[in-house]
Amino acid sequence: MEDQKKNLGRRATEATVKFVAVLAVMIFVAAGSLSYWQGWLFFFNFSAWIVTTTAYFLKYDRALLERRLHIGPAAEREPAQKCIQLFNGIVLIALFIGSALDYRFGGSAVPAPVVIFGNILIAAGFYGCFLVLRQNNFASATVEIRRDQRVISSGLYSIVRHPMYAAALVLFVGIPLSLGSYWGLLAIPPALGGLVARLLDEEKHLVRDLPGYVEYRRKVRYRLLPGLW
């Protein structure tokens, strides 16, 4: 048991370090400068949330963290989700790199208050994801239904059926703004399309395999955006 705990901690640490390192490379290589203050502010904000949430769930919900480590197209079981997650991964990389390239070529003149607002959106998005994971410890990084899984209808799930995706959308909008890019916002529509495709396919599995989800869907009408959809 102690070896398993150490192994999970090691794997979580390695995954976090690798992601943070790749993130730094993408931003500053694309920007072509280390004098990119917007990039540094974004990097420390984004990385701090990843490190903090990973440490929290390593201490308080190791099973959830274990499931969250299996991420990406290769981890998906359904062919449709493999394609959707490949698309989403490409869009997310484009969001990072495209926004940093905007800095290199001087395409946008984003005022400092807008950059700060972008970082606030990132914080809000991460905090929303954190609350979802606390409220629903069945949440996985892949589309799957566990044998003991039940419908969660309280907290953020009483507002929309997919609060994790809603929080992720807020985070995505914050990325280009925090990196000082208006051109990066062009990646938001495909990012939204990828989220919608994922949640629609996921709902098919939830309706079919999760007892009580049909009733929950009748009770909570909106999927992603309260009052809209």
Q: Are 118 and 175 in contact (CB under 8 A)?
A: yes
Residue matched to tokens 């972008």: 118
CB-count exposure of residue 119 (10 Å: 0-12, 13-18, 19+): buried
What's residue 6's pLDDT? 66
Q: Are 135 and 200 in contact (CB under 8 A)?
A: no
pTM of the model: 0.89
What's residue 109's pLDDT? 87
| Multiple choice CATH, 2-219, 1.10.10.10, 1.25.40.20, 3.10.129.10, 1.20.120.1630 | 1.20.120.1630
Q: Are 195 and 228 in contact (CB under 8 A)?
A: no
Render each residue's pLDDT in the chain as its tens digit; 229 residues: 455 556 988 999 999 999 999 999 999 999 999 999 999 999 999 999 999 999 999 988 888 888 888 787 888 888 888 999 999 999 999 999 999 999 999 888 899 999 999 999 999 999 999 999 888 877 766 766 777 788 888 889 999 999 999 999 999 999 999 999 999 999 999 999 999 999 999 898 888 888 888 999 999 999 988 888 8
Separation CA 187–CA 183 (nearest Å): 8
Residue 4 parent element (H or E):
helix 2-31
Q: Map residue 126 onto helix, strand or coil.
A: helix
Q: Map residue 1 onto helix, strand or coil.
A: coil
The beta strand positions in the chain, using DSSP E, are none
